[in-house]
Amino acid sequence: LIGIIWYTVARYCTRLFSRQSSFPSGFYGESIIFGWLERTNQRSVVWASRCLKTKLKYNSQVLDIGFGAGLSFDTMIRLLGESFESHCHENKGVEKAEYKVYGIENSEQMIRYCTEKYASEIENKVLVLEKGDALSMSYPNESFDVITVSNFIHLVKDKNAALKEWVWIILPKPFSLHKKN
Q: Tell me the C-alpha distance between 4 and 33, whole Å.
A: 30
**Torsion-angle region of residue 174: left (phi > 0), alpha (psi -120 to 50) or beta?**
beta
Range of lowest pLDDT (5-14, 32-41, 47-56, 85-94): 32-41
Whole-number pLDDT of residue 21: 57
Q: Tell me the C-alpha distance between 40 and 120, whole Å.
A: 26
Q: Could you tell me which residue, 91 or 76, shows the higher pLDDT?
A: 76
Beta-carbon contacts of residue 4 (< 8 Å; ≥ 6 apart):
none
